[in-house]
Chains A and B, each alone.
Chain A
Amino acid sequence: MRRNVLFWLSLVLMMAALYLVFVYVPTEKEMGIVQRIFYLMVPVGWLSLLSFLIIFIASIFYLTKREIKWDNLGYSAAEVGIVFTTLTLVVGSIWAKPVWGVWWTWEPRLTSTLVLWLIYLAYFIVRAFATEESRGATFAAVVGIIGFIDIPIVALATTLWRGMHPAPIIFKGGLAPPMLFTLLVSLTAFTVFYFLLLRQRVSLREAEVEIKRLKKLGD
């Protein structure tokens, strides 16, 4: 029932966001049509961070409470999160090409996202290389905690490192009201969609764990 609500809500919001991005919002003066990528880039970037926050909280609860449901949540958030982080990198590259003239630039936000992506990979790799599953879950939780604490320091260091780089126009001044409205709708749409995906992944993961348990019981 609740999943249905999430599904329809995200469908309606997504349609609204598409309409706003492609029809309603005025084209930005200096960057032109490519600026519309912005309404996709900000939501996916936000979700890659939100995902790691969920991993962080789930990891703390898993280590202290030792309940499998927290590991299921952390694992699912990591899987959905790495998809959004990859999307952020792809969309960021597509944005960088017309705006800065290159596909990749070591701009602070892009660089931090790349490091975040590598930490996500580490989260999966320790799990894959662990000798037992429960141990892998513990190790992954440790990486989830340490990795999350690292993100603000990475952001700080990369920003200071590229201090001379001109900040993108959007982040300097305020946004025009229609742009802000479009951005907010787009953010909401993607966030609802994210929770729909996360819910699906968690219930799938729970089924996987249950099947594994039954298989072990059968042996």
Chain B
Amino acid sequence: MAELEFIHVGKTYGGEAPAVRDLNLKIDEGEFVVLVGPSGCGKTTALRMVAGLEEITEGEIRIGDRVVNDLAPRERDIAMVFQNYALYPHKTIYENLAFGLRMRKVPKDEQRRRVEEIAQKLGLADMLNRRPAQLSGGQRQRVAMGRAIVREPEAFLMDEPLSNLDAKLRVQMRAEIARIQQALEVTTLYVTHDQVEAMTMGDRVAVMRDGVLQQVDTPQRLYDAPANLFVASFVGSPPMNLFEATVEADGTQLVFGETRLELGGPLLRDYSGRRLVVGIRPEEVREASGWDGARVRGRVLLVEALGAEQLIHIEIAASPLERADLVDAAAQPPGPTLGVEELERSVTLLGRFDRHLLLTPGEAVEVAIDPSLLHFFDLETGLALPTTDVPAVAGVAG
């Protein structure tokens, strides 16, 4: 076991824009870090550089106290689980599991002992003589995991190992992998594009975009205090509601559409008279009755019943975010396409409501928003704004 460190790591494929830019990230011994981002953000490239399957253009990668830049994959003592499992089809499950040990010249009986132990743990003991083609998807996935575990390597690298499983099995294996990692306490770098996987599995989550690391933090901190618009829109399902607003009255009021929101203090004094981006999580959009806070009027567009709760799309008057390049396109809430005409500029506010609330599409509705739970971002840079007064953004939702 060892720590894993990226120091100013960059990767450029001849002539193209860099796939990874100045990546600095340290994964402590035994820590589970998830690298997450939309496809093409450089997360897999970063992982493959650690494995030695991709050359490092600049900077250095350390495993333990060794700089591994110039080491061959086999000399790095890491194990990797591939997205498509990459089982050796002509070898039996036993031979698949034992391959790494054989390559490392572990004595035969030691090989047998370790393979059988792992097979027992993963429920593969009856299948050691079969070939990969005779196994189900979930079993193949477990063989791929087993092949990594049996080596007892310095670190695990996992490249979207769950993306080929069906939804139910994925949830099951998600817990399984997290459990195995905790039991073995092996340093793990896990790559996924699925933010739910990232949030549920990682000790810390590193969000990447266009080859640039956006933020690294615990899942909860990432959710509560996203560093910029991209992270805000990427983390959370459904994603955060984002729209533009103007700061008025010396930073104490927020104006969007016909709504004037009292912030309860000069939170945004520096932004007085300027426009910025406001974000609010769907669960912080509340039904107005019995609530004294600021109110926003809107109209119900769509009700999605999820069983335990319901997602309600509410159209409100506000300016939609124009800098779409600052957010995760896939996570953006549906725009005002279902629009009501009298609202010139409208935004769909997604709210997560109790299932007992009865609302029908077309109905006018009032929701309450707690100003202290709002997130603010700079319109130009997309960076989260530090609010000048306290009951501010971070650490409130709980």
Q: Do A and B bind each other?
A: no
